[in-house]
A and B are shown apart, each in its own frame.
Chain A
Amino acid sequence: MNTTDLRRAAFHPATVAAGAVVVAVLVGLVLAALAGAAPGTAVAALTEGMVGTPYAIGKSLNAAAVLMLVAAGFVLAYRAGLVNVGGEGQLCAGGIAAAAVGTTLPDGTPTAVALPAVVLAATTAGFAWAGIAAALRAWRGTSEIITTLLLNFVALAVLSLTVHEPSLLRQPVTSSETLPQSAPLVAGAHLPSLGLSRSPATIAILVAVAAVVAVGVLFRATPTGLRLTALGHAPEAAARLGVPVARTRFLALSSAGGFSGAAGGLLVATAPFVLAEGFSSGFGFSGLVVGLLARGSMTALGAVALLLGFLVSGGINLQLVAGVPATAVSIVESLIILLIAGSAWWAATRRAAARPAPAAETSAPELIGATR
């Protein structure tokens, strides 16, 4: 390997992403120290919460599954040139639909019927919720970033409404201590366990991996994937080649919502099997982070989702054991995005400069990723 190769490797997107993660984690340790936890204690609490017990591992896997689904949807829309910031709202829509179906099915409905019904309802609800923003984008040209973002606030309010109103999904109020949440889902709608001993891990991770593989295959091997990519790269050229631009955009963004909706359904179908305010907290945003960090690679998407899933449950333990506010993990997460977003252009130009002269022109603009 000569120096040119080395320099190119140093500015490879994966190296840059890894560098950003390292810097952000160092900042996290400083924050932990500020909160009064010695770096050793903080790291120990974090690892304990991540991989210390079968329980921790199971929790982390469940979180990673949700992140993978949201991120797979994000990537699907992102390839078509659409940014889905509405993961949180779509998770809520999916969760509400899942709870509505899961609590109304008769007791004793077999899993083979109840579980698919719940997941299907959640997916449809997420699809429809994102469909509002998607239709506005496809046929009116309204920025999907603004609408998906605003729809998050509406969905959070709808969630609050459904769990507070006895006429909607609130469990029967028997005393003043009845929590504002839904009744538990029927037993058939509970997500089966993965079968690991003393672990809460469910088959959600399998569903998520299947979804990620499906999106990967879609882009690698199908005409639909090619159409989406063409639309994302050059909408006008795609239109001339016969891609139905408006319809493809609508389906891409709505499907992204379908993935997030399914994730919301899986969250509700996991213990404690109820819909409550805040059940989706932060997964929508973290899913977006995973999608951005993966930079189009489905393998990277799986890896990053696992990393963040473990970080999130580690962060909870960090708060419990070391007394460091769990928001430290959110700080680390948002720093990672800012660092990667800021370094993308810089790294791309450095990398292009380090490459043999003739090819330098072709790849830099594509890697900028800033020319929306």
Chain B
Amino acid sequence: MSVSTAPHRLGRLERPAITGVLVREVVNFSSFWRSSTFSSTVEPTIYLLAFGFGFGSLVSRVGGFSYVEFVGTGIVATAVLFSSAFPAMFGTFVKYQFQRTYDAILAAPVDTEELVTAEALWIATRTGVYGCVPMVVAIAFGLDPSWGMLLVPFIAWISGYGWANFGIMVAGFASSFENFNYIVSAVLTPLFLVAGTFFPISNLPHWAQILAEFNPLHQCVVLVRHAVFGFHDWTDIYRVGFLVGFGLAMWRIAIYAMERKLID
């Protein structure tokens, strides 16, 4: 349109762009943290109490743990899922479709890649905190505190980053809210049930056990248990690697999905 100033490209994944999107989220969070905190922590806590008291009265020991120890650690994965994948799915869709927030952000010097990255980082950070809440509640019901618990926020963060991107990806590919039902019923519910949270997967058929190894929620459950009760061997490194790989893969696919959606 008009001339002057030497043209130059701004780089990819710039900090000011990511910070800008994060600031928006943090400022917004100040206006709805109550409801968000409520839904992300109360539901897993209800699961904890229901299974803890319900099953706990039937079974005393599971896989070498008391049942409150077993569920109190496994429940972290449930809290991770509820505070990452779900808010990411619904939040992204609402911001894209109804509030048109992303139109405003992309008109600023922010690219889709930076937008997705910042949104996922923010959700992961919330997940790092929310993920631990039911475990802290479990302490009140007999789970012994340990130093290893200090690692749990990091495990929840890494898992949350992957699931946040998963949610953004789903919202990116979905053409309406109704599409989420398929994902919740066909993907999230099975993964959530066979993660080893409420019952050990060692009792499942062999093929299911093998499949469970590819379930990021299962990896999260195992890592949390090992962090709290003691790490085993090199397989824990593999599990961390698996979660990192899950996060990176979801991140790239989420960016692809959102670019398709936001840029025509």
Are A and B co-members of a single complex?
no
